[in-house]
Amino acid sequence: MVNYSYISFVLIIPLVVFLITGLFGKKMPGLSGILGALGMLGAACLSYFVAYQYFLVDGRVDGIYPTVMAFKQTWLQFTPSLKIDIGIILDPIAVMMLVVVTTVSFMVHLYSIGYMHGEERYATYYSFLSLFSFSMLGLVVSSNIFQMYMFWELVGVSSFLLVGFYFTKPSAVAAAKKAFIVTRFADLGFLAGILILSFYSESLDFQTIIHNMMDYNGTIFLNANAASFMGVSALTWALCLIFIGGAGKSAMFPFHIWLPDAMEGPTPVSALIHAATMVVAGVFLVARLFPVYSQVPAALDVVMYVGAFSAFFAAIIACTQTDIKRVLAYSTMSQIGYMMFALGVSGYWGEEGLGFTASMFHLFTHAMFKALLFLGAGAVIHYVHSNEMGDMGGLWKKMPITHIVFFIACLAISGVPPLSGFFSKEEILTAAYQHNKIVYAVGLLTACLTAFYMFRLFLMIFWNKEYKAHGRTEHHGEAPMTMKLPLLILAIATIFAGIIPFSMYVSADGTAVESHIHLREASMAVAAGAIGIFSAFFLYLKKNERPEMISSAFGALYRTAYKKFYVDELYLFVTKNMIFNFIAVPAAWIDRNVVDGMMDLIAAVTENLSDSIKSIQSGKISSYVMWFFVGAILLSMMIVYAL
Amino acid sequence: MNLSLLIAIPTLTLISILFVNGKMARVAALAGSFVQLGTALFMLFSYMNLNDVSHLAFEESHVWFAQWNINYHIGVDAISIAMIMLTSVVLVAGVLVSWNIEDKTKEFFFLLVMLATGAFGFFISVDLFVQFFFFELAVIPKFLLIAIWGSGRKEYSAMKLVLMLMGGSSLVLIGILGFYYYSAEAGTPSFDLQTLSQLSLSHEQQMWLFPLLFSGFAVLSAMFPFHTWAPDGHSSAPTAASMFLAGISMKLGGYGCLRVAVFLLPHAAREYSPYIIVLACIGILYGAFVTLKQTDIKLMNAYSSVSHCGFVILGIAMFTKTAMVGAVLQMISHGVMTALFFAVIGMIYQRTHTRMGDEMGGLLKVMPFLSTVFIVAGLTSLGLPGFSGFVAEMTVFVGSFQNEDMFHRFATIFATASIVVTAVYILRAVGISLWGPIKKKEYESLPDASWNEKLAAGILVLSIVIMGTMPLWLSDMISKTTETLFP
């Protein structure tokens, strides 16, 4: 066994870069970009080396990949059994995530050198980016559920800072707040889930939790199942609550409303945080606890239905949006829905674990092609200075490289063989078909919609009409080299990532599973994609009247989808009209008038009382003399009559 | 380690403030507070090197009034050491923040240091009579600080604050006297905490003494419904006084609740704990919702203190060792955090001359340092990992959840819900006052922090980060003490 302790540098490097660029960045603005990119390059190389050692050099022990604890240090002790450790755990999914996060992060760091050039707060941008990378890497290697929660909050706050990067824009401020608050609300579920799970499993450590919960006859497992609240066992409650946290971060319905708005951040940030890494944290969380989830079918069903519904729901909305980043945001939500329901349909042992493998595989390929799509969109926005599809069209001549890579990514996400997306999506649909036919049908329909809206996007950006430069466009070239290079690298990854025999490395129980293409499911998936692609070509290749006709034919349905099914309005109503106006405002009034009023009342009563008594002590000798005599007479009368 | 130094140094500082003239008073105050901080640090390290912490450390006892058996008895455990560290850090920061006070400089620093002296004395004394003496010493200067250097309805607020706190302390006094007579009945009359804790009181005796002592101290820690002095007091007080009020005075209350009321009367405390838990939960959530409505950022922090101090009361009343450690951690964390918050709000107010969040906007562009500090304070308040608030709140939550029955469970979940509301009001304040477009033309030329402000903020931020990133030594140290206090 190799010593993996060097892996802690993957975390230390971004942390140090964050501190340097954050504290001294203003004095060396140009350098911070280079420093950040070099740091991430180092972290990426370390991750590749770890992956190589872990998967290929060390390999399996007794048929499964071992879980390696590369580093562990107690950070806070609550009770003898409950403590927060800061640890680095290495198992197949952690190593895979290390590779994904460092790769995409490095690409984004590199790309940003060109994209953010000339930005006033350039150094701040890089320090936030490093903070995010540090937090995300800490999250994926967490050995302790509370450690994960901590890094979970840290990625949330780095996302908040980066979405609100253009802080003078009111829309960016609103989006940053919304992103943080919605996910915080979901995190409340995560926290409550941790409290319950840790209490019953008597540990906060992932390995111990899993060990205790996999032991069917152990008292711990039996207790957790026997304790129930409202007819549902404590374990199910815990897992469902934890999933709420995951759903918040992964923008699953009904917590998805923050993701489209988060596109107010700089585009490379959207690529890194809101497409490839942070938003899949929820999927990763369920995968990390998958052995426990697999014991509780009810909780897994929740994951499945929420995932499937979100996938479909988001795909419909994506077909109607006109802002390219928002289309991509909904597409992200839809694809994460795929990953979620793939976990939901999965079993634990051997071949049954296909869904788990497929989900992780899709996470991997999606990170590559979605980052590519966002960075491509960033190049387009950089050129056109607008997010609206209406301002684009016919860009293929002006931006040949972006055009090609965008096309590749669209093919991949639509599931066209032999690009990477085909393999992972096909596996997901196969797993769904074996488990639940309804979910399979939803998945297939969503695949069709995905292909449609992606090619609608592609065609409206690059074809559709002749490009007419409008007022604000400066005529510079397509993009600087620092922006093109990441596009090309990611395009290569998008093409070839599918060839990796993923199921050999990542599976639910750690054994190797032979995967093969299921011809029937594969052809169905490809056919669904093809229908979507062709209808998009039919409608959007050249400017014509057909899209208008279709949208007016759908009428109310189209408008509802365009308005995102009014979920935002519903949230606004609940938070503003109900919580703010019916709880906060009355509470503030009560505090001033009732609670404090009581105190003032006590003071006023005391004051009045003293007012009325104080006239007795008037200081006038004559009245004292009079009262003296009155008292003396009364007293003598009492004595006389009483005796 | 001679513990009396902790009173001697501030007293010497007070004398030297009296004898220097004018502006030199602030130098004397600063020097004194730095020496005090150094002494406190030295005490901390000597305490950590002790092998046996099962009884009070650095004890000292001298007869004061022999006929009533009142002794100048002092000693510390981990909880009081934590409080002393907090007080000395806030003292340094408070003096630095008040560096440019023009009006009656000498008197201002005199009262400020006097307040701190009272707090130091309170935390180290073991004899209840001596403790009460210092307790009162820490209350009186507040009246003058608010009424003379305050703003707005300052006379009203000062009067209200002092009357409510005095009301609380009169309850405490009755409780202490009750103890004194019961101990006289049992043999020798005593005010000594250690002796009194050995006293075996009947159920009835415990049951009437506890509410007096507990609620008397709870007024000071702003427990619902005795919190209304806090918003008025804070909004009228000058910056340093607000920092002391929320950072230290409210901790006198929490410390008293834990170290006096619950320590002396554990059985009554258990009996009353459900009611206390309900009040604490109301305070936490109600305070948070009231904060949501505020647009005055100073008032916002005053109300959020009510919410945060609810965690202290909750942790104490939950009666598990972990939750009690959490309560102490929350006292320290909230003390530093709120001092930082009030400091930075004061600094911003000096520049913008308004405390209304919606009249500011875009300050991050104009004063990046102050705004960053504001954001750090806000993130600590909403419990971001890496800052102290997270450690304290999570310890309270995990500790509370170790109670197996549904009542405690629900109370815990109820209290955790406040982390969302906290996030909303903090982000709202950041969004309207620091982000967004700059609202007024004259704000564009405002200066950023000066050296003394940077130093004050730096010290407080450093304390928050140390606690937030390396909590183990602190929580270990405190939990050893709570284990001996509540076996």
State residue A221's pLDDT score.
Answer: 79
Residues 6+ apart with CB under 8 A from B349: B239, B298, B355
Range of the domain at B177: 5-485
What is the DSSP track for A504-548? HH--TTSS-------HHHHHHHHHHHHHHHHHHHHHHSB--SHHH
**What whole-number distance in Å separates Cα of residue A307 and Cα of residue A152?**
20
Counting residues of chain A whose pLDDT is more than 90, the rounded percentage is 49
State residue A391's pLDDT score.
Answer: 81
- Of residues A350, A327, A303, the one with CA closest to residue A413: A327
The number of distinct structural domains making up chain B is 1
Indicate whether A149 pLDDT > 90: yes
- A224 or A178, higher pLDDT: A178
**Would you call A402 exposed, middle or buried from its count of C-beta atoms within 10 A (0-12, 13-18, 19+)?**
buried
What are the Cα distances from residue A164, in Å, to A102, A363, B364?
A: 23, 26, 12
CA angle at A318 for the pair A177 and A426, rounded to the nearest 5°: 115
Indicate whether A418 pLDDT > 80: yes
Which chain B residues touch A185 with a CB distance below 8 Å?
Answer: 420
Kindly report the nearest CA distance between residue A88 and chain B, in angstroms.
17
Which chain B residues touch A79 with a CB distance below 8 Å?
Answer: 321-322, 398-399, 402
ipTM value for the complex: 0.93
Asked if A491 and A409 touch (Cβ cutoff 8 Å), the reply is: yes
Q: List the single residue in B with minimal CA-CA distance to A85.
A: B472
Q: Record the pTM.
A: 0.92
Query: Average pLDDT, stretch B359-380?
Result: 90
Kindly report the nearest CA distance between residue A586 and chain B, in angstroms.
8
3-state secondary structure A469-507: CCCCCCCCCCCCHHHHHHHHHHHHHHHHHHHCCHHHHCC
Q: List the single residue in A with minimal CA-CA distance to B224.
A: A595
State residue A603's pLDDT score.
Answer: 84
Beta-carbon pairs below 8 A across chains A and B: 129
Kindly report the nearest CA distance between residue B302 and chain A, in angstroms.
13
Which chain A residues touch B158 with a CB distance below 8 Å?
Answer: none
Q: Of A222-231, A288-297, B161-170, give the lowest mean pLDDT range.
A: A222-231
- Of residues B87, B172, B165, the one with CA closest to residue B129: B172
* Cβ within 8 Å, pair B321-A79: yes
Residues 6+ apart with CB under 8 A from B453: B96, B97, B343, B347, B370
> Given CA atoms B241, B246, B250, B251 in this order, what sign does their dihedral have?
negative
How is residue A580 written in tokens? Answer: 């703010």
**What whole-number distance in Å separates Cα of residue A329 and Cα of residue A405?**
19
Which chain B residues touch A191 with a CB distance below 8 Å?
Answer: 397, 416, 419
Indicate whether A471 pLDDT > 60: no
State residue A95's pLDDT score.
Answer: 93
Query: Average pLDDT, stretch A421-430?
Result: 90
* Cβ within 8 Å, pair A195-B412: yes
How is residue B216 written in tokens? Answer: 């008397």
pLDDT of B47-70, one tens digit each? 998 888 888 889 889 998 888 889
Indicate whether A467 pLDDT > 80: no
Which chain B residues touch A74 with a CB distance below 8 Å?
Answer: 472
Indicate whether A474 pLDDT > 80: no
Which of B272-277's residues contact partners 24+ apart within 8 Å by CB, and which partners? Answer: B272/B210, B272/B211, B272/B214, B273/B317, B273/B318, B273/B319, B274/B407, B276/B214, B276/B313, B276/B316, B276/B317, B277/B314, B277/B317, B277/B318, B277/B407, B277/B408, B277/B411
What are the Cα distances from residue B359, in Å, to A173, A530, B32?
A: 16, 56, 39
pLDDT of A187-208, one tens digit each? 999 999 999 999 988 899 999 9
Indicate whether B92 pLDDT > 60: yes
Which chain A residues touch B438 with a CB distance below 8 Å?
Answer: 168
pLDDT band at A45 (very low <50, low <70, confident <90, very high): very high
Average pLDDT of chain A, as a whole number:
88
pLDDT of A307-338, one tens digit each? 999 999 999 999 888 899 999 999 999 999 99
CA angle at B128 for the pair B124 and B131, rounded to the nearest 5°: 45
**What whole-number distance in Å separates Cα of residue A426 and Cα of residue A429?**
5
Query: Average pLDDT, stretch B111-126?
Result: 93
Of A153, A583, A588, nearest to B384 by CB-CB distance is A153
Residues 6+ apart with CB under 8 A from A75: A83, A84, A85, A86, A147, B471, B472
pLDDT of B319-335, one tens digit each? 899 999 999 999 999 99
Of A154, A181, A583, nearest to B427 by CB-CB distance is A181
Query: Average pLDDT, stretch B174-201?
Result: 88
Q: Of A26-40, A511-525, B160-174, give the lowest mean pLDDT range.
A: A511-525
**What whole-number distance in Å separates Cα of residue B464 and Cα of residue B458?**
10
Q: Which residue has the tokens 């109503």?
A: A573
**What whole-number distance in Å separates Cα of residue B382 and Cα of residue B252?**
23
DSSP state of A90: E
* Cβ within 8 Å, pair B293-A584: yes
State residue A574's pLDDT score.
Answer: 83
* Cβ within 8 Å, pair B286-A591: yes
State residue A472's pLDDT score.
Answer: 53
Indicate whether B468 pLDDT > 90: yes
Strand partners, B70: B65
* Cβ within 8 Å, pair B379-A157: yes
State residue A643's pLDDT score.
Answer: 67
Q: How many CB atoms lie within 10 A of CB A214?
A: 14
pLDDT of A496-524, one tens digit each? 988 888 888 888 887 877 777 778 888 88
**What whole-number distance in Å separates Cα of residue B424 and Cα of residue B291?**
10
pLDDT of B215-241, one tens digit each? 999 999 888 888 888 888 888 899 999
Indicate whether A470 pLDDT > 80: no
Q: List the single residue in B with minimal CA-CA distance to A584.
A: B289
- Of residues A175, A190, A251, the one with CA closest to residue B427: A175
- B198 or A284, higher pLDDT: A284
Of A177, A596, A599, nearest to B427 by CB-CB distance is A177
How far is C-alpha B480 from the geometric centre of its chain's CA atoms? 22
Indicate whether B354 pLDDT > 90: no
**What whole-number distance in Å separates Cα of residue A401 and Cα of residue A384?**
15
> Given CA atoms A253, A257, A258, A259 in this order, what sign does their dihedral have?
positive
End-to-end alpha carbon distance in chain A: 108
pLDDT of A97-108, one tens digit each? 999 999 999 999
State residue A362's pLDDT score.
Answer: 93
Indicate whether A276 pLDDT > 80: yes
Angle between helices A219-226 and A234-249 (to 10 degrees): 80
Which chain B residues touch A75 with a CB distance below 8 Å?
Answer: 471-472
Coil/strand/helix, residue B296: strand
Query: Average pLDDT, stretch A411-416?
Result: 91
pLDDT of B277-301, one tens digit each? 999 999 999 999 999 888 899 999 9
Of B286, B382, B472, nearest to A77 by CB-CB distance is B472
Phi, psi of B97 (to 5 degrees): -65, -35
Q: List the single residue in A with minimal CA-CA distance to B156.
A: A600
Kindly report the nearest CA distance between residue B430 and chain A, in angstroms.
9
State residue A63's pLDDT score.
Answer: 79
Of A76, A184, A599, nearest to B423 by CB-CB distance is A184
**What whole-number distance in Å separates Cα of residue B308 and Cα of residue B305?**
5
Which chain A residues touch B228 with a CB distance below 8 Å?
Answer: 591, 595-596, 599
Coil/strand/helix, residue A142: coil
pLDDT band at B200 (very low <50, low <70, confident <90, very high): confident
Asked if B61 and B72 touch (Cβ cutoff 8 Å), the reply is: yes
* Cβ within 8 Å, pair B364-A167: yes
What is the DSSP track for A552-578? HHHTHHHHHHHTGGGHHHHHHIIIIII
DSSP state of A257: T
* Cβ within 8 Å, pair B294-A588: yes
Q: Of A280-284, A368-372, B49-53, B164-168, give the lowest mean pLDDT range.
A: B49-53
Which chain A residues touch B399 with a CB distance below 8 Å?
Answer: 78-79
